[in-house]
Amino acid sequence: MFDLSKESILAKTPIDEYNEGQEYFKYGRIKSVQFNQEKRAFTSTVLGEKLYTQHLKFDLSGRLTHIECTCPVGNDGWGCCKHMVAVLLLIAEKDEQGFFRDLRFRRAAKDIFSLFGGAQATLKSAVSIEPIFEITKSKVSGASPMRLLRLRMGQDQLYFVKDIKRLFYYMENNLELKFGKKFTYVPSRHEFKGKDLELIELIKEIYQTDKLVTEYAQGMKSTGIFPDGRVCLTDSYLKRFLQIYEDTPFNALILGSRSELVKIKREDVPVTFLLSNEGTDLVLNIDFEGSLLPLTEDGEYFYTGGEVYRISEQQSEYLKPFYMAMMYQKTRKLRFIEEDKQRFVSEILPFAEKAGKLVITEEVNSTIEKLPLEAEVYLDRDGSDIVAEVRYIYGEHTINPFLPYNKASNPSGKLLIREVKTEDAILEIFAMANFKVNEGKIHLSGDENIYDFAFRLVPLLQEHSSVFYSESLKNLKLNPSISFSAQFRFNSDSNMLEFSFNADGIDRSELADILLSIRR
C-alpha cells in the first residue's frame, strides 16, 4: 500500500538521524499514531527531549508526498529527522504485515497505536542506585535538623543526581537525562530492581505529593520537599527508607561528617548511666559512644558511633526523656540537689534502669533502698459519705500520698525507690470517682457516685492494692436511681394508642412478666 522500505527511508535521511530514529522506534518512543484513510494521511507524536508532532501524507500510489515535524531539525531542508524516521519505520513494518489492507473494516482517523501492543517490547538494562542519607542543621532558627536523601545512579559508574525532582520529572515524561560521557538515563531502556526499585517508588510518592501541593498552591515556587536537588524525608518516609535498607549498608553525611557503609542494627543503643555523689549532690552521668542523635520523633531510630540503631519499645520510651534533658541542659551530666534527691530516686532512676545499663557507686548505693510496694486502701463511712485512706507501704515506710512526704516516717533515713507507676494508677482511679481531699483523706458524696465507685471502680483498685471495709460501710444501703423513659403515639391504621417504655437495669425479656403482674 505504501512505497516504503528501510533503503528508501535512509535515502531521505542523514545517517546519524537514521540510526537515532531506529533507536526511537526500537525503544518505544512513538506515543501515538492516527491514520486518515480517506486522505491517506498520518499524524503522530514521538517523545524526544519533549513531545514532538509529525504530519505525513501519501498519494494514491503510496508515494510519500509530504512530511514535517515540530522539532528543530524537522524542517531544516536536510532530510528526515529521527522522529520522522521512527514513524516511517513503524508504518513500513505494519504495511509489510498487511495491517493497512484491512483498514476498510475500520473507521477512518482511528488511533491505531494501541493495536500495536507489545510490538516494540524490549529487554531493559538495570540501573543501580546508591542513597546517601544526610542530616543537616535547619536554616530556620530553633527548628529540628533536616533529614535528607541524596542519590547516585548509573551502571558501570555512579553519578550524583544533581536534582532529584528533575530526575523524576524526566522519568514521568519519558525523557532522556544525561549524567556523563558513560551514562545517559533513558526511561524506556532502563529499569530499577530490588531495593533500588523500592527506593525509587518511595521517592516517587514524595514527588507526586510535592507536585500535588504545588498545583494547589497555584504554581508558587517552593523547594521545601526538594531543597538543593535533594529530597526531604518526613518521619514516615524516613522509616520506610530505613526499612528498605535494613540489611544493606549505605553512605551518610551526618551534620557535615561523612560516614561510609552505615549499618542498621536491631538492638538497643549501648548507653551507661553512672550515679555518683559530688559533694552533697547526686549526679547522673549518661555515657555513650560519640554523639547520640534521634532520627525519628518517636525515638525508634537513633544514630550513634557511625551506626543506626532501631531500638526496642522499652528503650525508646525510657531513653527519650534523658535525651531531651541533655539537650535542654546541654550536658550529659544531670545534677540533683538535696531537696530533689528523693523525687529523682523515685521518678527518674527507674527510667535509667530501663533505658540502659545502670551503675551506682558503692557510696550512693549505701544511701538507697528498694523495697516492694504493698498498697492498702481503707474505706469507711462518714454519715452518708464514703471516706478513703490510702497507704503506700514499703517495708517500714508508710506514705500517705495526700500528705507532704515526711522524712521522719522513714526510719532508715535512706532514699527510697518508689513504684511510681503503681502509685499513680491508684490515684487515677480515685480521680475517676470525683473524690475530694481533706486532711489526708478523700471523701465521696452522692448515692450515684458511691454506687459507681463501689461496683465499677473498687474492682479496679483491687488489681493494685488491698481494699479494707469498715463494719459501718458494709451496712450502707445504696438505692441507685433508675432512668425511665416512655413514649405514646396514636396509630391511625389500627385506631389504637401505642405505648412504649424503657427502664435501666430491666431486661427486655422481663417486660412482659412485669406488665402481667401489673394487670393482676
Q: Using one digit for the tens of pLDDT, what is the confidence trace for 112-163?
A: 333 333 434 446 788 999 999 998 888 777 777 888 999 999 998 999 999 9
DSSP string, 80-116: --HHHHHHHHHHHHHHHTTGGGGGGGS-TTEE-GGGG
The more confidently predicted of residues 347 and 295 is 295
Beta bridge partners, 335, equal 283
Least confident residue range of 88-92, 223-227, 280-284, 322-326:
223-227
Predicted pLDDT of residue 256: 87
Flag whether pLDDT at 274 surpasses 80: yes
Amino acid 384: pLDDT: 81
Residue 100 has pLDDT above 60, yes or no: yes
pTM value is 0.53
Beta bridge partners of 397: 394
User: CB under 8 Å to 78, separation ≥6 — which residues?
Assistant: 14
- When pLDDT is cut at 50, 70 and 90, the band that residue 248 belongs to is very high
Q: Please, are residues 359 and 271 in contact by the beta-carbon 8 Å criterion? A: no
The residue ranking higher by pLDDT, 472 or 83, is 83
366 φ, ψ (degrees, to nearest 5): -70, -15
> Residue 7 has what DSSP assignment?
H
**pLDDT computed for residue 104 by the predictor:** 45
Query: What average pLDDT does the structure give for the chain?
Result: 82
Q: What is the pLDDT of residue 497?
A: 67
Lowest mean pLDDT segment, chosen from 100-109, 336-345, 451-460: 100-109
Percent of the chain at pLDDT > 70 equals 82
Give the per-residue pLDDT at 215: 54
Q: Is the pLDDT of residue 55 over 50?
A: yes
User: For residues 191 and 124, is the Cβ–Cβ distance under 8 A?
Assistant: yes
At 359-402, the pLDDT tens digits run 999 999 999 888 999 999 999 988 888 899 999 999 888 888 88
Q: How large is the average pLDDT for residues 272-281?
A: 92
Task: Write out pLDDT tens, residues 4-23.
Answer: 888 889 888 989 899 999 98
Say what the pLDDT of residue 172 is.
Answer: 82
Dist. CA 77–CA 97, nearest whole Å: 32
pLDDT of residue 268: 95
**Residue 399 CA, distance from chain mean position:** 44
pLDDT band at 492 (very low <50, low <70, confident <90, very high): low
User: Which residues touch 487 (CB under 8 Å, ≥6 apart)?
Assistant: 499, 500, 501
User: DSSP code of 320?
Assistant: H
Q: Tell me whether residue 21 is exposed, middle or buried, using C-beta atoms within 10 angstroms of its C-beta: 0 to 12, 13 to 18, 19 or more.
A: buried
Give the confidence band of 179 by pLDDT, cuts at 50, 70, 90: very high
> Can you give the residue ranges of every domain in the chain?
6-116, 125-262, 270-361, 370-474, 484-519
Give residue 478's pLDDT.
57
pLDDT at 512 over 80: no
Closest of 389, 411, 421 to residue 402, by C-alpha: 389
Using the predicted structure, report yes or no on whether residue 269 has a pLDDT greater than 70.
yes
| Long-range interactions of 477-483: CB distance < 8 A, separation 24+ | 478/447, 478/450, 478/451, 478/454, 479/447, 480/447, 480/448, 480/451, 481/447, 481/448
d(CA 208, CA 213): 9
- Kindly state the average pLDDT of the residues 418-423: 88
- pLDDT for 406 equals 59
Give yes or no for residue 102 having a pLDDT over 70.
no
Q: Is pLDDT of 46 > 60?
A: yes
- Residue 355, classified by CB atoms within 10 Å of its CB into exposed (0-12), middle (13-18) or buried (19+), is buried
pLDDT band (50, 70, 90) for residue 488? low
